[in-house]
Structure 1
Amino acid sequence: MNYTQKSRIEQITDSTLIIGIDVAKATHVARAQDHRGIELGKRLIFDSNHRGFEALNTWIKELQRSYYKTTAVVGMEPTGHYWLTMAHYLLQKEIKAVVVNPAHVKKSKELDDNSPTKNDIKDARVIAQLVKDGRYSEPNILTGKYAELRVAMVQRERLMRSLIEIKNQVHNWLDRYFPEYPTVFKDWEGKASMIALKNFPLPQDVVNLGMEGIVTQWKSEVKRAVGIKRAIKLIETASTSVGISLGQTMARREIEMLLEQYFLLTKQLDELAQDVVTILEEIPGAVQMLAIPGLGWITVAGFLAETGDLQAYSHPQQILKLAGLNLKENSSGKHKGQTRITKRGRPRIRALLFRSMLVLVSKNQQFKQLHQYYINRKDNPLRKKQSIIALCGKLIRVLFAIGKKSVDYDPHKLLGKERLMQFQLVV
């Protein structure tokens, strides 16, 4: 990831064996060639298991010995998650593994045979040719605490999706059986509301239990904020409810199961949060990042889970490209197109930075002032969303410096005296 295309091309020499692999779920296809594009040996079709990977390793070693190649480079498409096991295997065998852009494979598949035909054998050859031309990138395979952090944040994202789904199903249940419920409890996730949904969820249950029964159950777990007035309002609402009154036995069972899943997911999220914070404490610079006002552990953990060790980068521009926040424009002759971000990087880190910046421009005084400066300056003022994107790049540079040097956050360096003076003049 630290190389330009020229440097990548220079790594492919006459002593390099180039392997292109078309990755699938169960069966892969590999083809080999030299630095001039001449195919070497026969293609290899192997399974995605230990025996297949060992056959690939043996095939590569035999080709190196037969054609006097001292090094080997294996290129593949990052197809879903299927390529990860092979990449880790090659890393253990000290064989260099690189990835090519699937869009490049699609666009260049007609160069050799002038045919739009697509198959696994042809794709393996196209991938090898792209590697030969230096059109590849080295995957950032995380290790140690960064690998733990990546797995944890992926699991958190999965749990959050499941939790949102459960919440939507609870809303659906309330709309069917007790549509007036939100007029009594604005937030159904509150303690008193949870007691009601667990013990007397249906309007008929509320009416049958009565005021004293409701208050008694509330007071057993909640000592304040709920009482007779709330109970009376709940009973009055339940007595005139237009909710469905059929199938109540299974309706109670449905809300019971939904609440069980809700409590399980929230418990797992809390436990996962504790694990992530513990991991962050062991990563250099993470504690200093957490000291930035308005920046939480979710942003820091998500950022490091995507980038890995910041010591592997030489410039923050590399992380900008990884996030797809680097700029592009279409210009020709006298025409100059609009400048936009490429969105060619990882959408997860891009979305994470954007969401965190929405908080920072309201909670962090320095980012707030910079945002106001960008949208109010006299020369080339930015729109609000453009300013947010520009500040995402600023945040990347701040996190890069903190993680690289393990220094404390300095708000004065972020704003700068000259820019602050300019901002004050504009205001």
Structure 2
Amino acid sequence: MKFKMQDKQNQLIERITDKHLVIGVDIAQHFHVARAVNYRGIVVGEPITFENNEGGFSTLLNWIHEIKRIHRLEAATVGMEPTGHYWINLSKWLMKQDIEVVTVNPHLVKRNKENRDNTQSKSDRKDALVIADMVKNGYYAFVRNTSESFEQLRVLMSNRDVIVKRLVSSINQLNRWVDIVFPELRQVFKDITAKGAIATLRLFPLPMELRSMTPEQIVMGWRSVMKRQPGMKKAELLVHVARKSVVTRQALGAYRFHLEQLLEEYDLAVQQMDRVEQAVKEVLDSIPFARKLLMIKGISEISLAGILGEAGDLSGFSHGNSLLRHAGLHLVEASSGKWKGQTVISKRGRSRLRRFLYLATMSLVMNNPEFKAIHAHNVKVKKMKKMKSIMKLIGKLARIFVGIARKNEVYYAHKVQPIKDIAA
């Protein structure tokens, strides 16, 4: 496929010939519905409903072969919405049977519902027909085959997102507990998740307990659970603020029980985070060009894993702009006559990929000399808004990543931006 969109759309339409059977599948949890049309959009065959299991998939395959035989067609293309995770097994099973599988944008399916009957009606059969029409008209995208390593990264990073949410939730609840039971603890430890603060919450969380203790006893307690512990000054301050604490004395047993459970949740999330990040590092070591990408100052293993997990093998992209389109970071404009609308990013792509590209670029702007210089030049000399400069740098990062992956070369700082351009 050529990169230019005007050429790409024509090529997608031209691929559907008069020898093609186009099938649209409406995806659901238990039962899918399929409809078929020819290259002109004429409905062929009867609708079929089949189960989301191997028996149902075989029924669909036999139905496809029968329609191809009756209408003397040679090829079949199956289109479907990437709805949740219910479409994955069907798509992989069909590809193993040498059936071409493509996806359509759910947003466009909703917009094209009235093309057939000029009504707002909705049903599974109609949705399947709308999908078939969209594929026939070239509004589809190919399913990118990912190798084992990239599939592992996608699953691991998705799992990491879940763990991050749980970890943030447990930290928020710990902060709430401290605000209610021992708010003066923040005078000693600004960060409640610091090792000293967590050790204090484990050993003597209630101010009433600390009032009767000496600083030496507190330091001994810290030494029992920490290799490097806060000093005597911290212990003295802790005793001082505990004696002045004005918190409630009611339900202290329940509060202690609640804290124990919160610390268990926090410990579990931290352990799981360490395990998943270690697994991510091991997978990255198996990807040949990953080490070259990590040589770029400012690129972390987690941000790279997020990008590769969502985008797959970057060497499969023809250009960095293809990666931007995959992420929904390509520019769109709305204009009519003399009126010209604002140019914005489309956001029609993988939201998680957009997030990791943005975070990686922000890290480069803060830590990478080349990107920092370009950003400063954009803002101070070209008078760009900071966010516009960041968006341009995301495009540059995408082109660098795809170029390194395709050519298998290392990162050269002098190629990022000519020195004369920065100094201009």
Normalising by structure 2, we get a TM-score of 0.95
Residue type of the alignment partner of 2:412: D
Return the offset for 1:223.
5.3
Distance 1:191 1:215 in 2: 13
The structure 1 residue matched to 2:412, chosen from 392, 410, 413, is 410
- Aligned to 1:180, the other structure's residue is in SS state helix
Distance 1:371 1:315 in 2: 23
Q: Structure 1 residues 401 and 245 mapped into 2: Cα distance closer, same or farther (>3 Å)?
A: same
Return the offset for 1:170.
0.6
Return the offset for 1:225.
5.3
Q: Which residue of 2 aligns with 1:388?
A: 390
Q: Which residue of 2 aligns with 1:214?
A: 218
Distance 1:221 1:339 in 2: 56
Q: Which residue of 2 aligns with 1:259?
A: 263
Q: Does 1:38 align with 2:37?
A: no
- Residues 2, 313 of structure 1: 8 Å contact kept: no
Q: Which residue of 2 aligns with 1:14?
A: 18
Deviation string for 1:80-118 (max 9, x for gaps)? Answer: 221112111112222111111112211121121111101
Distance 1:89 1:169 in 2: 44
Q: Does 1:242 align with 2:246?
A: yes
- Residues 316, 406 of structure 2: 8 Å contact kept: no
Q: Which residue of 2 aligns with 1:299?
A: 303
296-305 or 53-62, which moves further after superposition?
53-62
Q: Which residue of 2 aligns with 1:94?
A: 98
- Aligned to 1:220, the other structure's residue is in SS state helix
What residue ranges of structure 2 are gaps of 5+ in the alignment? none
- Residues 24, 78 of structure 2: 8 Å contact kept: yes
- Residues 20, 77 of structure 2: 8 Å contact kept: yes
Distance 2:395 2:54 in 1: 43
Distance 1:201 1:127 in 2: 60
Q: Does 1:280 align with 2:256?
A: no
Deviation string for 1:250-296 (max 9, x for gaps)? Answer: 21121111111211211111121121111111112110110101111
Q: Structure 1 residues 348 and 2 mapped into 2: Cα distance closer, same or farther (>3 Å)?
A: farther
Return the offset for 1:229.
2.2
Deviation string for 1:21-40 (max 9, x for gaps)? Answer: 11111111111111111211
Identity %: 41
Q: Which residue of 1 aligns with 2:162?
A: 158
Residue type of the alignment partner of 1:220: S
- Residues 179, 242 of structure 1: 8 Å contact kept: no
What is the count of residue pairs matched by the alignment?
Answer: 420
- Residues 175, 243 of structure 1: 8 Å contact kept: no
- Residues 326, 342 of structure 1: 8 Å contact kept: yes
Q: Does 1:78 align with 2:82?
A: yes
Distance 2:231 2:21 in 1: 77
Q: Structure 1 residues 9 and 182 mapped into 2: Cα distance closer, same or farther (>3 Å)?
A: same
- Residues 31, 125 of structure 1: 8 Å contact kept: yes
Q: Does 1:52 align with 2:56?
A: yes
Distance 1:257 1:142 in 2: 40
* Correspondence 1:218-237 to 2 at 5 A: 218-222=222-226, 224=228, 226-237=230-241
Distance 1:96 1:2 in 2: 20
- Residues 25, 128 of structure 2: 8 Å contact kept: yes
Q: Which residue of 1 aligns with 2:203?
A: 199
Deviation string for 1:203-228 (max 9, x for gaps)? Answer: 12222444332121112344555233
Return the offset for 1:331.
2.5
Distance 1:377 1:227 in 2: 50
- Residues 314, 402 of structure 2: 8 Å contact kept: yes
Return the offset for 1:395.
0.5
What residue ranges of structure 1 are gaps of 5+ in the alignment? none
Q: Which residue of 1 aligns with 2:399?
A: 397
Q: Does 1:332 align with 2:336?
A: yes
Q: Does 1:103 align with 2:102?
A: no
- Aligned to 1:75, the other structure's residue is in SS state strand
- Residues 327, 349 of structure 2: 8 Å contact kept: yes
Distance 2:423 2:107 in 1: 47
Deviation string for 1:57-90 (max 9, x for gaps)? Answer: 2211222222222211111111122111211111
Residue type of the alignment partner of 1:295: I
Deviation string for 1:137-167 (max 9, x for gaps)? Answer: 1122423211111111111111111111111
Distance 1:21 1:319 in 2: 27
Give the alignment's Cα RMSD to 1 decimal. Answer: 1.7
Residue type of the alignment partner of 2:391: I
353-362 or 366-375, which moves further after superposition?
353-362
The structure 1 residue matched to 2:358, chosen from 354, 367, 371, is 354
Normalising by structure 1, we get a TM-score of 0.94
Residue type of the alignment partner of 1:308: G
